Chains A and B, each alone.
Chain A
Amino acid sequence: RKEVEQDPGPFNVPEGATVAFNCTYSNSASQSFFWYRQDCRKEPKLLMSVYSSGNEDGRFTAQLNRASQYISLLIRDSKLSDSATYLCVVKNPGGYQKVTFGIGTKLQVIP
């Protein structure tokens, strides 16, 4: 089983739609969680951290479910510019600072 699992998609959604991605992680002791966005042939960029209580940033909402070991990203009112690959990133416990990436979920927002 992979440490971080994501549905690679693609998710094709019309403009204005609401779309949600899930990501599951295998290590119950994982500490920190992030969503990164990666545009085609570009570097990953931090979209948002995921906090235990859930957090929102404009049209984006991230949630963490420790009991079921998954995090989610909800995008409301999708824009064409939201088209990208969304990477789930998990930091495991221990003294080292490396993180583990999911394969990414590709989102295509269509007019």
Chain B
Amino acid sequence: EAGVTQFPSHSVIEKGQTVTLRCDPISGHDNLYWYRRVMGKEIKFLLHFVKESKQDESGMPNNRFLAERTGGTYSTLKVQPAELEDSGVYFCASSLGQGGSGYTFGSGTRLTVV
């Protein structure tokens, strides 16, 4: 079984540019989550999809962040325009049910805004 796949693995962009991160969850997993780790801080929740619907987006930092999951398969997270404080590792995770047995994480996208 393929795991959670994230692309790109690394991205370096200039402040003000746009970046789009992609996550392919495990096939059949309806629940998809985005998390972020800023250096020296805890991993923080961003949002949760159930299929194509946003179940909880309470962790999205501001309106420069836009997440989509059209068709309920892969998801994208766009940051536009990027700011320096957006640098960090963005993790995607998926779960079959409600996460009671934990999530499977992707390897993350390391975003550096310069």
Spell out A's residues near B (CB within 8 Å): 2, 4, 32, 34, 36, 41-46, 49, 87, 89, 91, 96-104
One of B91, B95, B100 near A44 (C-beta < 8 A): B91
- The interface on chain B, measured as residues whose beta carbon lies within 8 A of the other chain's beta carbons, has a size of 27
* A101, chain B: closest CB distance, angstroms: 4
Chain A residue at smallest Cβ distance from B47: A98
Whether a CB of chain A sits under 8 angstroms from the CB of B28 is: no
Spell out B's residues near A (CB within 8 Å): 31, 33, 35, 41-45, 48, 55-56, 58-59, 91, 95, 98-108, 110
Residues of chain B with a CB closer than 8 A to A43's CB: 91, 105-108
* B31, chain A: closest CB distance, angstroms: 6
Chain A residue at smallest Cβ distance from B35: A101
Q: What is the CA–CA distance of A96 and B59 in the complex, to the nearest angstrom?
A: 12
Instruction: Assess whether A49 is in contact with B102, with CB atoms less than 8 Å apart.
Output: yes
Residues of chain A with a CB closer than 8 A to B56's CB: 96-98
Q: What is the CA–CA distance of A32 and B95 in the complex, to the nearest angstrom?
A: 15
